[in-house]
Structures are given as structure tokens and as C-alpha cells.
């Protein structure tokens, strides 16, 4: 029972009845703001543009063909042609009640989907920061709930463990090892990253070596791979410590980092080219999406391969979606990140669907949360302006809680 998929289906049908082609996408998503309803359909503008008609008029025709009175309290056309959907309270309560009663907490474990939950997902050689806290905690709570309900859950820790920065990091790890810094203090990964970056920016010979190491790493050079693995291991050991402290169920076996998808990327790009979805543009490979427009009103270009041959975050997420369907045999994917990655996920998944890498019934849901803000309403930083390490935040929480408890004890 997936309401987003149902609404998507119904609106797509109405769009087709209203004259759109069968390949049309309703793009139903959760609304960001409560005043825009519970869900919104974002696909009207793109479809109307294709048909050469006014989007608001097309939206009206779609509404005329839509009968979801049992689900929706109110449907309204907003802005340039969004359809806002307000769910009916009776519908929500009816479905909540249908969760059958059983012995365990009154919940019937009757679901049996295979669900991939993509959560936590920190980055190698960068410590987990407060921003990863929500993805980790919300993700793990959802994982436990879905498992409790009977689903098979695959935890996917989509760790940022690949990219051009690894040349620099490997070169720096080598430097630190050669300088024989006795107890190579990688407990402070942030400092390690900063120092590597500083060496890269200030030392031309170091920068040259770094660039050479990226190429070597990408072509499977044993030495570079060993050094890379060291960086991944150190990072993941620190993350594991944090997961254990937080009583989060993630283990090292749940790591499915970006590097996993690396071997699939050339064929993903090739398929997108073969299908005419991707084109060469100024040396790069780009997918232009009618569904999203840039400031000038032109279809938005999403780069999937850079001029220098490198792949991007989007390309990896397209491969991940296909892998989760074809290899992991998932029915559903749930992704947790902060709201700044909304457009990214929409684009990656739209390309995935347009290319037919996954079938329509494969459910992909992105749940977002806001950023961690300080008292000043700005992103949460340390006094010196740095990112707050999650480990430090936990230390402080424990310290403060201990003080409180001790104060209470001494009073009683």
C-alpha cells in the first residue's frame, strides 16, 4: 500500500486521458510545505509543454479526468501548473486501522517486501558530522519498523568512498607514513583531510602525484587500492564506533559505497546514449530533462560524465537504483538525506525511469529533513566556524547528562 504510487498512477492515467502520451510522468512527490497539501504532482508543466498547451489549462483537464474523491479531500491547481493533493482524514484513518491486530504490540507482521533503505551514508576521510545524525537515526528507526512488519530489509550505507579527492588522500597518507609519524593520528579525519588539501594547494609536486594516483586508482593499481582501502577502513571503524554508541544496527557488512557501482557506470552512460537520452555537450555527456527547467526556461542539463571521463554523484545513483532492482531484487527503495539533495534524487530517478532501468512498479521514495541549525538560524557550526563532529556532540551530550544526573543525586 503505497499512497504516492497510487496517486502517481491515477494522475498519470488522467494525464493520458487528457491527451498526454503514454510515456508521460506525473511526478507525484510529497509536498515540502503543508499549505501545498500532502502530495503534489510536478509533471503537468513538462507534459503541457510537449503538447504545446497552457499548463494550468492542462492541469484543469487532468482534474476533470481524475476521480480520487475517496482518497483526496481537495485538489488544487497551484503556480504554473502544479496539482496539490490534500488527503482525506477518513481515508488515512481507515488505512491506519487496517493494520491488523496481532499479539505483538497489536501489530500484524504481514508485509513481505524487500526494501532497500539507504541511510547514514557518511563520506570517507571526513568524519560523520551532525548532518548525518538524522539520516542515521531516522533511517535506523524505519529499518527496525519495516523489519518488525515482516519485510526483508537491506541496509544500504551509501558511503562516499570514491572520487577524484582520493588521489590527494592517498598521496597524503603515503607522505604521513613516509615521514614516519609514529602513531599516525587519523582519529582526527577532518584534520587529515584539511592537511591533504593544504598540501595539494601549496605543493605542485604533491598535486602532480595526487593526480597521477587518481588515474592509477581508477585503473585498479594494487598499491593505490591498498592505500584507498586503508582510508576506507579507518573511516568505517570510526563510524562503527559511533553506530555502536548510538545503538544503531548498521554494521560493516551494510556498506554499499559509491565504489560498488563503479564498474557499472560505463554501460549506464552507453545505454543512455543508445536510447538517445544522453548527448555529448561540450565534451561532457549530458541528459536534458524537459521536466526541469533552468532559469532561462530551457530543459535542465544533468551531467552524467565529465569532459575528463569522470562520472558523477548522479551517475552513481542511477546505477544504484538499477542494481537495487536487478541484483538485490528489491520492491522498494527508501532514501534519507537532508532536503538539499531533493533535486538530485528527482533527477537521478527520473533518468533511471526514462531509461527503463527499473519498471514502473518499483517504488523509490526520498524522505528528507531540514538542516541542523544553530541558535542563529544558520547551519550548525563550532565556535571557530568548523563542522561539528558527531562524536564530539555525543561526548558533550553524555557529559551534560552525567552532570545533570549527579546534581539530582546530590540534591536528593
Q: Which residues bind ligand ARG (CB under 6 A)?
A: 118, 121-123, 158, 160, 317, 320, 335, 337
**Cα separations in angstroms, 234 against 141, 187, 394:** 26, 8, 19
**Distance of closest approach, residue 314 Cβ to ligand ARG, in angstroms:** 9
Pairing of strands 299-305, 82-87: unpaired
- Nearer to ligand ARG by Cβ, of 77 and 318: the residue is 318
Distance CA 85, CA 70 (A): 12
- Nearer to ligand ARG by Cβ, of 60 and 368: the residue is 368
- Nearer to ligand ARG by Cβ, of 128 and 171: the residue is 128
* Contact assessment for residue 55 and residue 48, using Cβ atoms and an 8 Å cutoff: yes
- Nearer to ligand ARG by Cβ, of 320 and 372: the residue is 320
**Cα separations in angstroms, 168 against 118, 218, 231, 305:** 28, 13, 12, 21
Distance CA 39, CA 83 (A): 8
Name the β-bridge partners of 389: 129
- Nearer to ligand ARG by Cβ, of 55 and 160: the residue is 160
Distance CA 270, CA 277 (A): 10
Comparing CA positions, the residue from 390, 396, 342 lying closest to residue 132 is 390
* Contact assessment for residue 145 and residue 109, using Cβ atoms and an 8 Å cutoff: no
- Nearer to ligand ARG by Cβ, of 20 and 269: the residue is 269
| Residue for grid cell 494522475 | 11
**Distance of closest approach, residue 224 Cβ to ligand ARG, in angstroms:** 22
**Distance of closest approach, residue 222 Cβ to ligand ARG, in angstroms:** 27
- Nearer to ligand ARG by Cβ, of 305 and 337: the residue is 337
Q: CB 400: neighbour CB atoms within 10 A?
A: 10
- Nearer to ligand ARG by Cβ, of 95 and 252: the residue is 252
* Contact assessment for residue 339 and residue 369, using Cβ atoms and an 8 Å cutoff: yes
**Distance of closest approach, residue 411 Cβ to ligand ARG, in angstroms:** 43
Comparing CA positions, the residue from 39, 41, 77 lying closest to residue 59 is 77
- Nearer to ligand ARG by Cβ, of 123 and 235: the residue is 123
**Cα separations in angstroms, 177 against 164, 171, 172, 188, 230:** 21, 10, 8, 16, 12
**Distance of closest approach, residue 118 Cβ to ligand ARG, in angstroms:** 5
- Nearer to ligand ARG by Cβ, of 91 and 380: the residue is 380
**Distance of closest approach, residue 198 Cβ to ligand ARG, in angstroms:** 22
Distance CA 255, CA 250 (A): 8
**Distance of closest approach, residue 48 Cβ to ligand ARG, in angstroms:** 30
**Distance of closest approach, residue 94 Cβ to ligand ARG, in angstroms:** 34
**Distance of closest approach, residue 207 Cβ to ligand ARG, in angstroms:** 25
| Helix intervals (H) in 111-164 | 131-148
* Contact assessment for residue 84 and residue 37, using Cβ atoms and an 8 Å cutoff: yes
**Distance of closest approach, residue 119 Cβ to ligand ARG, in angstroms:** 8
| Residue for grid cell 541542523 | 372
* Contact assessment for residue 332 and residue 365, using Cβ atoms and an 8 Å cutoff: yes
Helix axis angle for 222-246 and 131-148, nearest 10°, is 70
Amino acid at each position: 500500500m503505497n499512497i504516492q504510487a497510487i496517486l502517481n498512477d491515477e494522475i498519470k492515467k488522467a494525464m493520458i486521458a487528457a491527451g498526454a502520451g503514454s510515456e508521460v510522468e506525473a511526478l507525484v512527490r510529497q509536498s515540502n510545505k503543508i499549505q501545498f497539501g500532502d502530495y503534489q504532482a510536478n509533471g503537468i508543466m513538462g507534459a503541457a509543454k510537449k503538447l504545446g498547451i497552457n499548463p494550468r489549462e492542462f492541469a484543469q483537464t487532468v482534474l476533470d479526468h481524475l476521480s480520487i474523491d475517496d482518497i483526496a479531500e481537495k485538489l488544487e491547481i497551484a503556480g504554473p501548473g502544479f496539482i496539490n493533493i490534500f488527503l482525506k482524514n477518513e481515508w488515512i484513518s481507515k488505512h491506519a486501522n487496517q493494520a491488523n491486530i496481532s499479539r505483538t504490540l497489536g501489530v500484524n507482521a504481514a508485509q513481505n517486501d524487500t526494501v532497500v533503505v539507504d541511510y547514514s551514508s557518511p563520506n570517507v576521510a571526513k568524519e560523520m558530522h551532525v548532518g548525518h545524525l538524522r539520516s542515521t537515526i531516522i533511517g535506523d528507526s524505519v529499518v527496525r519498523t519495516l523489519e518488525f512488519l515482516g519485510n526483508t530489509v537491506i541496509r544500504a550505507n551509501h558511503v562516499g568512498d570514491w572520487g577524484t579527492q582520493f588521489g590527494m588522500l592517498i598521496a597524503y597518507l603515503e607522505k604521513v607514513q613516509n615521514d614516519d609519524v609514529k602513531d599516525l593520528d587519523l582519529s582526527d579525519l577532518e584534520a587529515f583531510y584539511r592537511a591533504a588539501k593544504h598540501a595539494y594547494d601549496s605543493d605542485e609536486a604533491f598535486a602532480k602525484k595526487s593526480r597521477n594516483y587518481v588515474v592509477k586508482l581508477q585503473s585498479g593499481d594494487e598499491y593505490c587500492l591498498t592505500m584507498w582501502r586503508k582510508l576506507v577502513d579507518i573511516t568505517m571503524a570510526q563510524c562503527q564506533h559511533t553506530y555502536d554508541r548510538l545503538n544503531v544496527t548498521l554494521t560493516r557488512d551494510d556498506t554499499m559505497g559509491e565504489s560498488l557501482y563503479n564498474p557499472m557506470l560505463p554501460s549506464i552512460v552507453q545505454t543512455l546514449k543508445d536510447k538517445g537520452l544522453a548527448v555529448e555537450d561540450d565534451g561532457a555527456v549530458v541528459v536534458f530533462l524537459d521536466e526541469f527547467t533552468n532559469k532561462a526556461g530551457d530543459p535542465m542539463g544533468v551531467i552524467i560524465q565529465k569532459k575528463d571521463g569522470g562520472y558523477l554523484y548522479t551517475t552513481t545513483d542511477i546505477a544504484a537504483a538499477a542494481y537495487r532492482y536487478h541484483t538485490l531484487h528489491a520492491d522498494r527503495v527508501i532514501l534519507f538525506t537532508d532536503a538539499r539533495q531533493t533535486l538530485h534524487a528527482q533527477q537521478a530517478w527520473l533518468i533511471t525511469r526514462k531509461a527503463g532501468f527499473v519498471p514502473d512498479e518499483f517504488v523509490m521514495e526520498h524522505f528528507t529533513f531540514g538542516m541542523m541549525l544553530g541558535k542563529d538560524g544558520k547551519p550548525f557550526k563550532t565556535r571557530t566556524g568548523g563542522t561539528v563532529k558527531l562524536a564530539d556532540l555525543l561526548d558533550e551530550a553524555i557529559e551534560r547528562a552525567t552532570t545533570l544526573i549527579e546534581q539530582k543525586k546530590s540534591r536528593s
